[in-house]
């Protein structure tokens, strides 16, 4: 490619990152998100925060919502949603999320130095009750199962994986791409499949 064209792309991308950093910080504050030093936004995340809930981004968190800034590309922006009063989402320092969806009715906590690949989804709730009568419209929280999700430090979750309610993932784990994690995974393991199971130790 023409060197001037490449230089122009670099300048444009640098300007976009600065714009997202400024506007993104303003929007996060507007939504009541608590964030630490030097967070980085590549594209604009979608944030929906229920009153009396918390979304916390610790120092140097990276949220990538734009396919131009990740090798694999993303199908959607990062989405962070608290669904009930008292819910919380915590993303630990130096963690990076690309096109990840996090929905918390109680709590989703992601540790430090975690890497969450393109289009990972993490939910601590079933969203709807399991009983069949009026399932679509009955949003009584007492009838909808929820359980906190806890992801420890230095976990790598591959693209397209789903982490479901009540799951804990121990430190240093690797979760294979496309896995559906329905049960807790001990530390220092590789897990993959649907449902995910431990296939190797680290």
How many CB atoms neighbour CB 176 within 10 A?
19
The overall average pLDDT reported for the chain is 89
User: What is the domain count for the chain?
Assistant: 1
Rounded to 5 degrees, what angle do the CA atoms 152, 164, 63 make?
60
Q: In the predicted model, is pLDDT for residue 171 greater than 80?
A: yes
Residue 120 CB contacts under 8 Å (≥ 6 apart), including other chains: 97, 99, 100, 101, 157, 158, 159, 160, 161, 162, 163
Q: 168: domain range?
A: 3-201
In this predicted model, what pLDDT tens digit does every residue of 104-130 receive, in sequence order?
999 999 999 999 999 999 999 999 888
Catalytic positions are 128
Peptide bond into 195 cis (omega under 30): yes
Task: Report the side by side order of strands in the sheet with 196-201.
Answer: 40-42, 62-64, 96-98, 115-116, 156-157, 174-175, 189-193, 196-201
pLDDT given at position 11: 52
Six-digit token pair at 98?
Answer: 């690309």
> With pLDDT > 90 as the criterion, what percentage of the chain qualifies?
66
At residue 15, does pLDDT exceed 70? Answer: no
| Cα–Cα distance measured from residue 108 to residue 67, given in angstroms and rounded to the nearest whole number | 25
Confidence at 137, pLDDT banded by 50, 70, 90: confident
Looking at residue 138, which CATH number applies to its domain? 2.160.10.10
Tell me what pLDDT residue 131 has: 83
């Amino acid at each position: 490619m023409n060197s001037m064209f490449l230089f122009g792309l670099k300048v444009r991308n640098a300007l976009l990152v600065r714009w997202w950093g400024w506007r993104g910080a303003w929007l996060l504050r507007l939504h009541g998100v608590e964030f630490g030093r030097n967070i980085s936004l590549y594209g604009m995340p979608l944030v929906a925060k229920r009153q009396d809930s918390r979304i916390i981004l610790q120092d140097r968190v990276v949220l990538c919502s734009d396919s131009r800034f990740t090798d694999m590309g993303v199908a959607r922006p990062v989405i962070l949603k608290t669904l009930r009063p008292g819910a919380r989402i915590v993303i630990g320092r130096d963690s990076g999320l690309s096109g990840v969806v996090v929905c918390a009715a109680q709590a989703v906590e992601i540790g430090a130095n975690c890497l969450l690949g393109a289009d990972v989804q993490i939910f601590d709730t079933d969203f709807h009750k399991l009983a069949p009568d009026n399932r679509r419209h009955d949003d009584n929280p007492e009838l909808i199962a929820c359980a906190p999700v806890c992801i420890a430090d230095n976990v790598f979750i591959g693209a397209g994986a789903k982490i479901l309610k009540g799951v804990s993932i121990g430190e240093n784990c690797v979760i294979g791409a496309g896995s559906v994690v329905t049960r807790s995974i001990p530390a220092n393991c590789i897990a993959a499949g649907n449902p995910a199971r431990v296939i190797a130790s680290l």
